[in-house]
Amino acid sequence: MFENQEQTEISKFYESLPKPTLIAIQELLEDQIYMREKIKSEDIKLDEGLSEIADDVSDEGLEDIKEDDIKNHKIAYLEGYLWDNENAKKAMKKMVDICKADDQKIAFTLSDLFCVDRHRDSFQELINNDVDILFANEDEIKSMAQTSSFEEGLEYAKSLNITAAITKGSSGSVVVSNGSVTEITAQKVDKVVDTTGAGDLFAAGFLYGYSKNKSMEECGNYASIAAAEIISHYGGRPLVKLSSLI
């Protein structure tokens, strides 16, 4: 009896939610189911849930990072968020070593302003030694340069002598490469609905162009197109095939 009553109350609660919220919840559940199945299919032990995967990586767990799975690609993409966990950091460093030996490019996103504040020195060491392509927003690049001036942040990006793609919200983005700066215009959207996934989609569009040996301007435009699609609706998954937009 109480179980049926509880189920009824839950149903009423969901029925009261706005449709966009329901769509977002559904997408999150689908993503979780997808990741669980993917992890199981790759023989990764799932003990307490997805949130504990990084914590379960130990020196012995590094064996799960298999060289054959990583080799023969063009670009490896690393997230600054993982730098908070020492074991995940070890895993990333092992992956970097494999990728560099395989002549792959290393792309790295600073991920978050607070990540930069916590790990500025170790981020700088990673960038200096291993990173070929850096992603940041204007606040993150200013924090790395320890300045309040975007121009000084841009000069810092130039000094790295790598490719850096820096987003500026509705003002577009800039790409720094070989000492030159390319301005990228933001793609117009009728309404910004949800910025979830904007940074990842920006990076995806840029790296797609980079892997196809496109110019920095084309890479930036692909990035802008992908980011514009994801912010035009709720959820972190594109509603259309991105290749149809370019």
pLDDT digits (tens, 9 = 90+) for 19-34: 666 566 666 666 555 5
Segment 174-203 mean pLDDT: 92
For range 199-213, the mean pLDDT: 94
Task: Print the SS3 string covering the chain.
Answer: CHHHHHHHHHHHHHHHCCHHHHHHHHHHHHHHHHHHHHHHHCCCCCCCCHHHCHHHCCCHHHHHCCHHHHCCCCEEEEEHHHHHCHHHHHHHHHHHHHHHHCCCEEEEECCCHHHHHHHHHHHHHHHHHCCCEEEEEHHHHHHHHCCCCHHHHHHHHHHCCCEEEEECHHHCEEEEECCEEEEECCCCCCCCCCCCCHHHHHHHHHHHHHHCCCCHHHHHHHHHHHHHHHCCCCCCCCCCCHHHHC
pLDDT computed for residue 33 by the predictor: 56
Mean pLDDT across the chain: 83
Identify the pLDDT of residue 57.
44
**pLDDT score at 61:** 62
pLDDT score for 85: 82
pLDDT of residue 236: 80
78-98 pLDDT, tens digit each: 999 888 888 888 889 999 999
- For range 219-234, the mean pLDDT: 92
Work out the pLDDT band at 36, boundaries 50, 70, 90. low
